[in-house]
Chains A and B, each alone.
Chain A
Amino acid sequence: KAGVTQTPRYLIKTRGQQVTLSCSPISGHRSVSWYQQTPGQGLQFLFEYFSETQRNKGNFPGRFSGRQFSNSRSEMNVSTLELGDSALYLCASSLEGLGSPLHFGNGTRLTVT
């Protein structure tokens, strides 16, 4: 079974631009979550989608948004990029239910200059 696929692996953007990251979950997984990882803040939850609906959201500004398609693939968008948005963005998918482990992709490393 193919794992979680994230594209692109690396991105370099300029302040003020916007960016879209893509995530394809493991086949059969309907929940997709996004996390931001930075050296200073560690791993922080961004949001979770299930059946095309945002189910949970972390403490991030409205510049961070996402969506999920009917095939469970998900995208996240960051508008008006700031230097502090430079991070590794990790997508994870899982089966539904308490205790179902998250399976992560390789991440997209975003650098904002």
Chain B
Amino acid sequence: AQKVTQAQTEISVVEKEDVTLDCVYETRDTTYYLFWYKQPPSGELVFLIRRNSFDEQNEISGRYSWNFQKSTSSFNFTITASQVVDSAVYFCALPSFSGGYNKLIFGAGTRLAVHP
């Protein structure tokens, strides 16, 4: 069955620290996408990145970087030099095997608190 595990429930860091959020997934699909979303206190889920299972290159976007490793079924997210505005809940997600493209299976989320 499809499954997404985010083992870290809460992380607390001081501003400017680097922080890595872990995501481990299970899927029977040979072709799939993985997603990261951010949910600030306002409640809206903000799309951050998607990764195709064929592309294992790491990606960097400003202070954000993603490390996708198919061999360990992991898709980890690193924030460099964290800022208070990064405080939010972060979700990793994977489309359901039998549910179609838009039925996402979400991890439980990691709540990140960045303190000044």
**Interface residues, chain A, with chain B CB atoms under 8 Å away:** 31, 33, 35, 42-43, 45, 48, 55-56, 58, 88, 90, 92, 94, 96-107, 109
Contact = CB atoms under 8 A, between A and B. Distances in A.
Interface of B: 31, 33, 35, 37, 42-47, 50, 52, 91, 95-96, 99-109
Contact of B43 (A33, A55, A97, A106): A106
A33 B109 contact: no
B92 to A, nearest CB: 11
- In this complex, the member of B33, B44, B45, B108 whose beta carbon has the largest number of chain A beta carbons within 10 angstroms is B45
A55 B101 CA distance: 10
A48 B103 CA distance: 8
27 contacts: A31-B102, A35-B104, A42-B106, A42-B109, A43-B104, A45-B96, A45-B105, A55-B100, A58-B103, A88-B43, A90-B45, A96-B101, A97-B101, A98-B101, A99-B33, A99-B50, A101-B50, A102-B45, A102-B104, A103-B47, A104-B44, A104-B47, A105-B44, A106-B42, A106-B43, A106-B44, A107-B43
